[in-house]
Structure 1
Amino acid sequence: MEHREAAFRKLFDLYRHDIYAYGKSILKHDEYAEEIVQDVFLKIWLNREKLDPELSFRSYIFAITRNLAINFLHKAANDARLREEVFYKSQESYNPAENNIDAAYYDRIKQQAIDILSPRRRQIFELSRNRGMSYEEISKELGISVSTVKNQMSAALETIRNFLFAHSDLTLIITFIAFGWL
Protein backbone atom coordinates (compact mmCIF):
# COMPACT_ATOMS: atom_id res chain seq x y z
CA MET A 1 0.00 0.00 0.00
CA GLU A 2 2.82 2.43 0.80
CA HIS A 3 4.28 1.93 -2.65
CA ARG A 4 0.98 2.96 -4.30
CA GLU A 5 0.67 6.04 -2.12
CA ALA A 6 4.28 7.05 -2.83
CA ALA A 7 3.74 6.59 -6.57
CA PHE A 8 0.51 8.56 -6.37
CA ARG A 9 2.30 11.35 -4.50
CA LYS A 10 4.95 11.48 -7.24
CA LEU A 11 2.24 11.78 -9.90
CA PHE A 12 0.54 14.51 -7.88
CA ASP A 13 3.78 16.46 -7.49
CA LEU A 14 4.63 16.00 -11.16
CA TYR A 15 1.27 17.09 -12.64
CA ARG A 16 -0.54 19.29 -10.12
CA HIS A 17 0.88 22.58 -11.41
CA ASP A 18 0.01 21.75 -15.03
CA ILE A 19 -3.51 20.71 -14.08
CA TYR A 20 -3.93 23.84 -11.98
CA ALA A 21 -2.72 26.06 -14.84
CA TYR A 22 -5.02 24.33 -17.34
CA GLY A 23 -7.97 24.53 -14.94
CA LYS A 24 -7.29 28.19 -14.26
CA SER A 25 -6.98 28.94 -17.99
CA ILE A 26 -10.52 27.62 -18.40
CA LEU A 27 -12.15 28.80 -15.18
CA LYS A 28 -10.13 32.02 -14.51
CA HIS A 29 -10.44 31.51 -10.77
CA ASP A 30 -7.79 30.25 -8.32
CA GLU A 31 -10.18 28.52 -5.94
CA TYR A 32 -12.00 26.61 -8.68
CA ALA A 33 -8.74 25.61 -10.33
CA GLU A 34 -7.54 24.21 -7.00
CA GLU A 35 -10.80 22.26 -6.65
CA ILE A 36 -10.31 20.85 -10.14
CA VAL A 37 -6.82 19.63 -9.17
CA GLN A 38 -8.26 17.86 -6.13
CA ASP A 39 -11.11 16.38 -8.15
CA VAL A 40 -8.77 15.14 -10.90
CA PHE A 41 -6.54 13.33 -8.44
CA LEU A 42 -9.49 11.95 -6.50
CA LYS A 43 -10.84 10.52 -9.75
CA ILE A 44 -7.41 9.06 -10.58
CA TRP A 45 -7.11 7.48 -7.13
CA LEU A 46 -10.61 6.01 -7.28
CA ASN A 47 -9.97 4.58 -10.76
CA ARG A 48 -6.32 3.59 -10.23
CA GLU A 49 -7.02 -0.10 -10.89
CA LYS A 50 -8.48 0.72 -14.31
CA LEU A 51 -5.57 2.84 -15.59
CA ASP A 52 -4.01 1.53 -18.79
CA PRO A 53 -0.20 1.93 -18.65
CA GLU A 54 -0.11 1.76 -22.45
CA LEU A 55 -2.03 5.04 -22.77
CA SER A 56 -0.69 8.54 -22.21
CA PHE A 57 -1.27 9.50 -18.59
CA ARG A 58 -0.80 13.19 -19.41
CA SER A 59 -3.55 13.07 -22.05
CA TYR A 60 -5.77 11.20 -19.61
CA ILE A 61 -5.43 13.77 -16.83
CA PHE A 62 -5.97 16.69 -19.18
CA ALA A 63 -9.11 15.03 -20.54
CA ILE A 64 -10.35 14.60 -16.96
CA THR A 65 -9.51 18.24 -16.23
CA ARG A 66 -11.37 19.44 -19.32
CA ASN A 67 -14.41 17.31 -18.53
CA LEU A 68 -14.54 18.47 -14.92
CA ALA A 69 -14.24 22.09 -16.08
CA ILE A 70 -17.11 21.58 -18.55
CA ASN A 71 -19.20 20.08 -15.76
CA PHE A 72 -18.34 23.04 -13.56
CA LEU A 73 -19.32 25.51 -16.30
CA HIS A 74 -22.66 23.74 -16.75
CA LYS A 75 -23.21 23.99 -13.00
CA ALA A 76 -22.19 27.67 -13.06
CA ALA A 77 -24.59 28.38 -15.91
CA ASN A 78 -27.46 26.95 -13.87
CA ASP A 79 -26.58 28.42 -10.45
CA ALA A 80 -27.22 32.18 -10.19
CA ARG A 81 -24.71 32.85 -7.39
CA LEU A 82 -21.97 30.78 -8.98
CA ARG A 83 -22.66 32.21 -12.45
CA GLU A 84 -22.35 35.76 -11.13
CA GLU A 85 -19.13 34.94 -9.30
CA VAL A 86 -17.57 33.27 -12.34
CA PHE A 87 -18.74 36.02 -14.70
CA TYR A 88 -17.49 38.69 -12.29
CA LYS A 89 -14.06 37.08 -12.06
CA SER A 90 -13.76 36.70 -15.83
CA GLN A 91 -14.95 40.27 -16.39
CA GLU A 92 -12.65 42.06 -13.89
CA SER A 93 -10.85 43.75 -16.73
CA TYR A 94 -14.05 44.59 -18.64
CA ASN A 95 -13.78 47.67 -20.81
CA PRO A 96 -17.07 48.96 -22.35
CA ALA A 97 -15.20 50.36 -25.36
CA GLU A 98 -14.14 46.81 -26.21
CA ASN A 99 -17.73 45.48 -26.14
CA ASN A 100 -18.33 45.90 -29.88
CA ILE A 101 -14.99 44.31 -30.68
CA ASP A 102 -15.79 41.44 -28.29
CA ALA A 103 -19.19 40.84 -29.90
CA ALA A 104 -17.63 40.67 -33.36
CA TYR A 105 -14.87 38.41 -32.06
CA TYR A 106 -17.37 36.08 -30.36
CA ASP A 107 -19.51 35.92 -33.49
CA ARG A 108 -16.43 35.05 -35.55
CA ILE A 109 -15.33 32.33 -33.08
CA LYS A 110 -18.86 30.92 -32.98
CA GLN A 111 -19.00 30.78 -36.77
CA GLN A 112 -15.56 29.18 -37.01
CA ALA A 113 -16.69 26.50 -34.56
CA ILE A 114 -19.76 25.79 -36.71
CA ASP A 115 -17.73 25.86 -39.93
CA ILE A 116 -15.54 22.95 -38.85
CA LEU A 117 -18.58 20.66 -38.70
CA SER A 118 -19.32 18.39 -41.63
CA PRO A 119 -22.10 19.75 -43.88
CA ARG A 120 -24.75 17.31 -42.59
CA ARG A 121 -23.78 17.80 -38.95
CA ARG A 122 -23.80 21.59 -39.44
CA GLN A 123 -27.25 21.41 -41.02
CA ILE A 124 -28.63 19.41 -38.10
CA PHE A 125 -26.97 21.71 -35.57
CA GLU A 126 -28.33 24.86 -37.23
CA LEU A 127 -31.84 23.44 -37.53
CA SER A 128 -31.77 22.70 -33.81
CA ARG A 129 -30.06 25.83 -32.52
CA ASN A 130 -30.98 28.52 -35.06
CA ARG A 131 -34.48 27.40 -36.02
CA GLY A 132 -35.37 25.82 -32.67
CA MET A 133 -36.53 22.56 -34.22
CA SER A 134 -36.91 19.45 -32.06
CA TYR A 135 -35.00 16.28 -32.89
CA GLU A 136 -38.24 14.74 -34.12
CA GLU A 137 -38.90 17.69 -36.45
CA ILE A 138 -35.35 17.54 -37.81
CA SER A 139 -35.72 13.78 -38.29
CA LYS A 140 -38.87 14.26 -40.38
CA GLU A 141 -37.48 17.17 -42.40
CA LEU A 142 -34.24 15.39 -43.29
CA GLY A 143 -35.69 11.87 -43.57
CA ILE A 144 -33.33 10.40 -40.97
CA SER A 145 -33.92 8.66 -37.65
CA VAL A 146 -34.22 10.55 -34.37
CA SER A 147 -31.26 8.57 -33.01
CA THR A 148 -29.16 9.77 -35.96
CA VAL A 149 -30.14 13.36 -35.14
CA LYS A 150 -29.22 12.82 -31.46
CA ASN A 151 -25.87 11.26 -32.37
CA GLN A 152 -25.05 14.02 -34.83
CA MET A 153 -25.97 16.74 -32.31
CA SER A 154 -23.91 15.10 -29.60
CA ALA A 155 -20.89 14.90 -31.92
CA ALA A 156 -21.43 18.50 -33.09
CA LEU A 157 -21.59 19.81 -29.51
CA GLU A 158 -18.43 17.93 -28.56
CA THR A 159 -16.58 19.30 -31.59
CA ILE A 160 -17.76 22.85 -30.87
CA ARG A 161 -16.87 22.62 -27.15
CA ASN A 162 -13.38 21.39 -27.99
CA PHE A 163 -12.93 24.19 -30.52
CA LEU A 164 -14.12 26.82 -28.02
CA PHE A 165 -11.82 25.56 -25.27
CA ALA A 166 -8.91 25.73 -27.69
CA HIS A 167 -9.74 29.12 -29.25
CA SER A 168 -11.80 31.11 -26.81
CA ASP A 169 -12.21 32.33 -23.27
CA LEU A 170 -14.39 31.49 -20.30
CA THR A 171 -16.90 34.30 -20.83
CA LEU A 172 -17.89 33.07 -24.27
CA ILE A 173 -18.17 29.46 -23.16
CA ILE A 174 -20.34 30.31 -20.13
CA THR A 175 -22.50 32.57 -22.30
CA PHE A 176 -23.10 29.78 -24.80
CA ILE A 177 -23.91 27.29 -22.03
CA ALA A 178 -26.19 29.72 -20.18
CA PHE A 179 -28.22 30.41 -23.31
CA GLY A 180 -28.51 26.73 -24.20
CA TRP A 181 -26.29 26.89 -27.24
CA LEU A 182 -23.96 24.20 -25.84
Structure 2
Amino acid sequence: MHIYQTFSDTDLLSLFKSGDLKAYEEIYKRYWPLLFISSNKILQDEDDAKDVIQEVFISLFNKGASIEIQFSLSVYLYSAVRYRVLDKIRHGHTKDNYLLSLYDYSEASTVATDGKLLEKEFIIQIEKAVAVLPEKMRKIFEMSRNQHLSHAEIARELGISDKTVKKQIGNALKIIRNTINPVLVTALLMEMHSKIPIK
Protein backbone atom coordinates (compact mmCIF):
# COMPACT_ATOMS: atom_id res chain seq x y z
CA MET A 1 0.00 0.00 0.00
CA HIS A 2 1.30 3.44 -0.94
CA ILE A 3 1.81 5.67 2.09
CA TYR A 4 -0.52 8.35 0.70
CA GLN A 5 -3.41 5.88 0.86
CA THR A 6 -3.13 5.94 4.65
CA PHE A 7 -3.44 9.73 4.90
CA SER A 8 -6.69 11.41 5.90
CA ASP A 9 -8.45 13.81 3.56
CA THR A 10 -7.31 16.69 5.75
CA ASP A 11 -3.67 15.61 5.50
CA LEU A 12 -3.91 15.11 1.75
CA LEU A 13 -5.47 18.53 1.26
CA SER A 14 -2.78 20.18 3.37
CA LEU A 15 -0.03 18.45 1.38
CA PHE A 16 -1.68 19.36 -1.92
CA LYS A 17 -1.94 23.01 -0.92
CA SER A 18 1.79 22.97 -0.19
CA GLY A 19 2.47 21.74 -3.73
CA ASP A 20 2.58 17.96 -3.26
CA LEU A 21 1.21 16.51 -6.51
CA LYS A 22 1.20 12.96 -5.16
CA ALA A 23 -1.37 14.11 -2.61
CA TYR A 24 -3.49 15.45 -5.48
CA GLU A 25 -3.16 12.12 -7.29
CA GLU A 26 -4.39 10.28 -4.20
CA ILE A 27 -7.37 12.62 -3.85
CA TYR A 28 -8.16 11.94 -7.51
CA LYS A 29 -7.92 8.16 -7.11
CA ARG A 30 -9.91 8.19 -3.88
CA TYR A 31 -12.83 10.28 -5.08
CA TRP A 32 -13.08 9.84 -8.85
CA PRO A 33 -15.12 6.57 -8.73
CA LEU A 34 -17.50 7.88 -6.05
CA LEU A 35 -18.05 11.21 -7.78
CA PHE A 36 -18.62 9.47 -11.10
CA ILE A 37 -21.36 7.31 -9.58
CA SER A 38 -23.00 10.40 -8.12
CA SER A 39 -22.85 12.33 -11.39
CA ASN A 40 -23.92 9.45 -13.61
CA LYS A 41 -26.87 8.64 -11.33
CA ILE A 42 -28.42 11.94 -12.40
CA LEU A 43 -27.14 12.45 -15.93
CA GLN A 44 -27.55 8.80 -17.00
CA ASP A 45 -24.75 9.34 -19.51
CA GLU A 46 -21.21 8.18 -18.81
CA ASP A 47 -19.49 10.68 -21.11
CA ASP A 48 -21.32 13.64 -19.57
CA ALA A 49 -20.63 12.30 -16.08
CA LYS A 50 -16.92 11.93 -16.84
CA ASP A 51 -16.81 15.48 -18.22
CA VAL A 52 -18.29 16.80 -14.99
CA ILE A 53 -15.76 14.98 -12.81
CA GLN A 54 -12.87 16.08 -15.02
CA GLU A 55 -14.00 19.71 -14.75
CA VAL A 56 -14.19 19.45 -10.96
CA PHE A 57 -10.68 18.02 -10.64
CA ILE A 58 -9.21 20.53 -13.09
CA SER A 59 -10.76 23.31 -11.02
CA LEU A 60 -9.34 21.78 -7.83
CA PHE A 61 -5.87 21.53 -9.39
CA ASN A 62 -5.95 25.10 -10.70
CA LYS A 63 -6.92 26.53 -7.32
CA GLY A 64 -4.02 24.77 -5.64
CA ALA A 65 -2.78 26.62 -2.55
CA SER A 66 -5.58 29.19 -2.81
CA ILE A 67 -8.38 26.68 -2.25
CA GLU A 68 -10.55 27.34 0.80
CA ILE A 69 -12.69 24.48 2.11
CA GLN A 70 -15.20 25.31 4.83
CA PHE A 71 -16.29 21.82 5.89
CA SER A 72 -14.53 18.78 4.45
CA LEU A 73 -12.94 17.70 1.19
CA SER A 74 -15.76 15.24 0.45
CA VAL A 75 -18.46 17.88 0.98
CA TYR A 76 -16.54 20.30 -1.22
CA LEU A 77 -16.14 17.80 -4.07
CA TYR A 78 -19.72 16.51 -3.98
CA SER A 79 -21.05 20.07 -3.88
CA ALA A 80 -18.89 21.00 -6.87
CA VAL A 81 -20.22 17.99 -8.79
CA ARG A 82 -23.82 18.83 -7.87
CA TYR A 83 -23.39 22.41 -9.09
CA ARG A 84 -21.87 21.36 -12.41
CA VAL A 85 -24.47 18.64 -13.01
CA LEU A 86 -27.34 21.09 -12.49
CA ASP A 87 -25.59 23.72 -14.62
CA LYS A 88 -25.18 21.20 -17.45
CA ILE A 89 -28.87 20.34 -17.34
CA ARG A 90 -30.07 23.95 -17.07
CA HIS A 91 -28.12 24.95 -20.15
CA GLY A 92 -29.11 21.87 -22.15
CA HIS A 93 -25.53 20.62 -22.54
CA THR A 94 -26.50 17.03 -21.87
CA LYS A 95 -28.75 14.28 -23.14
CA ASP A 96 -32.33 13.95 -21.94
CA ASN A 97 -31.85 10.59 -20.20
CA TYR A 98 -31.89 12.28 -16.81
CA LEU A 99 -35.66 12.73 -17.24
CA LEU A 100 -36.11 8.97 -17.05
CA SER A 101 -33.92 8.84 -13.96
CA LEU A 102 -36.09 11.52 -12.37
CA TYR A 103 -39.24 9.63 -13.35
CA ASP A 104 -37.96 6.46 -11.67
CA TYR A 105 -37.07 8.44 -8.57
CA SER A 106 -40.47 10.14 -8.46
CA GLU A 107 -42.39 6.89 -8.84
CA ALA A 108 -40.41 5.18 -6.08
CA SER A 109 -40.69 8.17 -3.79
CA THR A 110 -44.42 8.52 -4.36
CA VAL A 111 -45.00 4.86 -3.51
CA ALA A 112 -42.94 5.19 -0.35
CA THR A 113 -44.68 8.29 1.01
CA ASP A 114 -48.00 9.90 0.22
CA GLY A 115 -46.91 13.47 0.92
CA LYS A 116 -44.44 13.85 -1.93
CA LEU A 117 -46.23 16.57 -3.87
CA LEU A 118 -43.16 17.51 -5.90
CA GLU A 119 -42.71 13.99 -7.22
CA LYS A 120 -46.44 13.57 -7.89
CA GLU A 121 -46.58 16.81 -9.85
CA PHE A 122 -43.58 15.73 -11.92
CA ILE A 123 -45.23 12.40 -12.78
CA ILE A 124 -48.44 14.20 -13.77
CA GLN A 125 -46.52 16.52 -16.09
CA ILE A 126 -44.60 13.62 -17.64
CA GLU A 127 -47.81 11.66 -18.28
CA LYS A 128 -49.53 14.69 -19.82
CA ALA A 129 -46.55 15.27 -22.10
CA VAL A 130 -46.48 11.62 -23.19
CA ALA A 131 -50.23 11.63 -23.88
CA VAL A 132 -49.91 14.33 -26.57
CA LEU A 133 -46.92 12.83 -28.38
CA PRO A 134 -47.52 11.77 -32.01
CA GLU A 135 -49.04 8.28 -32.03
CA LYS A 136 -46.04 6.41 -33.45
CA MET A 137 -43.60 8.24 -31.19
CA ARG A 138 -45.78 7.62 -28.13
CA LYS A 139 -46.06 3.90 -28.91
CA ILE A 140 -42.28 3.53 -29.25
CA PHE A 141 -41.63 5.54 -26.11
CA GLU A 142 -44.13 3.52 -24.07
CA MET A 143 -42.72 0.22 -25.35
CA SER A 144 -39.31 1.34 -24.15
CA ARG A 145 -40.51 2.90 -20.91
CA ASN A 146 -43.36 0.65 -19.78
CA GLN A 147 -42.48 -2.69 -21.36
CA HIS A 148 -38.71 -2.22 -20.87
CA LEU A 149 -37.97 -3.39 -24.40
CA SER A 150 -34.60 -2.71 -25.99
CA HIS A 151 -34.25 -0.67 -29.18
CA ALA A 152 -33.63 -3.88 -31.12
CA GLU A 153 -36.74 -5.58 -29.68
CA ILE A 154 -38.93 -2.59 -30.52
CA ALA A 155 -37.47 -2.40 -34.02
CA ARG A 156 -38.22 -6.09 -34.65
CA GLU A 157 -41.77 -5.87 -33.35
CA LEU A 158 -42.63 -2.76 -35.38
CA GLY A 159 -40.61 -3.65 -38.46
CA ILE A 160 -38.44 -0.54 -38.34
CA SER A 161 -34.72 0.11 -37.87
CA ASP A 162 -32.90 0.48 -34.55
CA LYS A 163 -31.87 3.96 -35.70
CA THR A 164 -35.51 4.98 -36.13
CA VAL A 165 -36.37 3.72 -32.65
CA LYS A 166 -33.46 5.62 -31.11
CA LYS A 167 -34.40 8.80 -32.96
CA GLN A 168 -38.08 8.57 -31.95
CA ILE A 169 -37.21 8.06 -28.28
CA GLY A 170 -34.74 10.94 -28.41
CA ASN A 171 -37.34 13.23 -29.98
CA ALA A 172 -39.91 12.16 -27.39
CA LEU A 173 -37.53 13.06 -24.57
CA LYS A 174 -36.84 16.47 -26.11
CA ILE A 175 -40.57 17.20 -26.39
CA ILE A 176 -41.15 16.08 -22.81
CA ARG A 177 -38.25 18.19 -21.55
CA ASN A 178 -39.60 21.28 -23.28
CA THR A 179 -43.09 20.65 -21.89
CA ILE A 180 -42.19 20.21 -18.23
CA ASN A 181 -41.79 23.22 -15.93
CA PRO A 182 -37.99 23.75 -15.67
CA VAL A 183 -38.32 25.04 -12.10
CA LEU A 184 -39.94 21.74 -11.09
CA VAL A 185 -37.18 19.75 -12.81
CA THR A 186 -34.43 21.72 -11.07
CA ALA A 187 -36.11 21.41 -7.67
CA LEU A 188 -36.55 17.67 -8.07
CA LEU A 189 -32.96 17.22 -9.27
CA MET A 190 -31.69 19.07 -6.21
CA GLU A 191 -33.83 16.92 -3.91
CA MET A 192 -32.74 13.71 -5.59
CA HIS A 193 -29.07 14.65 -5.59
CA SER A 194 -29.16 15.78 -1.95
CA LYS A 195 -30.23 12.25 -0.96
CA ILE A 196 -27.15 10.65 -2.51
CA PRO A 197 -24.97 9.86 0.52
CA ILE A 198 -21.60 11.59 0.77
CA LYS A 199 -18.97 9.00 1.50
TM-score when scaled to structure 2?
0.43
TM-score (norm 1): 0.47
